Homo-oligomer: A and B are copies of this chain.
Amino acid sequence: MQASEGATGLRERKKRRTRDALIRSALELFADHGYEGTTVDEIAAAADVSQRTFFRYFANKEEVALSVQEMVESHFFAAVCERPAAESPLTALRAAVLSSWDTIEEAIQSVVPLELHVRTFRMIQSTPQLLAAHLRRSMELEDRLTREITRREGLAEQDPRPRILVAAFSGVMRANGKLWAEVADGDMSRLKQATAGYLDQIGPALAENWRS
């Protein structure tokens, strides 16, 4: 029983290597032949394991495609939890997104090249099955964010306001991501700028009388 991280034993390290190899192989094959154009057998063969072993690491084909995205999201959630309690919820969410992007890149790089992740992100947006799975995960993230903000603000569990705020925030982030996927050059600084601008619109969007 070691503390937490670090290479515990050979077994652990080997598993981690196998997992990373599967992710790398999968994302590369997806980038080349598309999601549906790649079979699990091919992924397993490229990572030098059996198909049966693939399914011991990932519950299904979707999961390997979304695995890096999963890292990004849990990184963001951790950033939210670390924001000072004095910040308003929206400020905390905003700051967490922007700051988490500063530190996530190296974590991604340790598994796959950044450019491959960007291509994968685009693939998720354009593959119905993956988009569906991705959205379901996003809703789970919304749930967790809602609970965290309810806790921060000391509100009752049934109070709908955190959920609504999170929904608006997530809606902005989705639109932002979609836009980025369409036009993106992979330039992170421009993405951050656009995101900040978008988030500034949440207040005005709920004020009535846009036409004035």
Specify which chain B residues have a CB less than 8 angstroms from the CB of A202 in the assembled complex: 164, 206
Contact of A139 among B135, B167, B201, B206 (CB under 8 A): B135
Instruction: Tell me the smallest distance from the CB of A197 to a CB of chain B, in Å.
Output: 8
From A15-23, A49-57, A170-178, the one touching the partner chain is A170-178
Main secondary structure of the interface of A (DSSP, over half): helix
Q: Which residue of B lies closest to A201 (CB)?
A: B160
Question: Across the interface, do A167 and B170 meet the contact criterion of CB distance under 8 Å?
Answer: yes
Q: Does A11 contact B (CB under 8 A)?
A: no
Specify which chain B residues have a CB less than 8 angstroms from the CB of A90 in the assembled complex: 208
Docked complex Cα distance between A206 and B7 (Å): 45
Docked complex Cα distance between A180 and B135 (Å): 21
Question: Across the interface, do A153 and B206 meet the contact criterion of CB distance under 8 Å?
Answer: no
Q: Which residue of B lies closest to A166 (CB)?
A: B171
Specify which chain B residues have a CB less than 8 angstroms from the CB of A208 in the assembled complex: 88, 90
Contact of A171 among B128, B136, B167 (CB under 8 A): B167
Interface 1/0 per residue, A141-173 and B, CB below 8 Å: 010000000000111000011111111101110
Other A-B pairs, 14, CB within 8 Å; known A164-B202, A170-B171, A206-B206: A90-B208, A128-B136, A131-B136, A132-B133, A135-B135, A160-B172, A160-B205, A161-B204, A164-B168, A165-B205, A165-B206, A167-B172, A168-B206, A171-B171
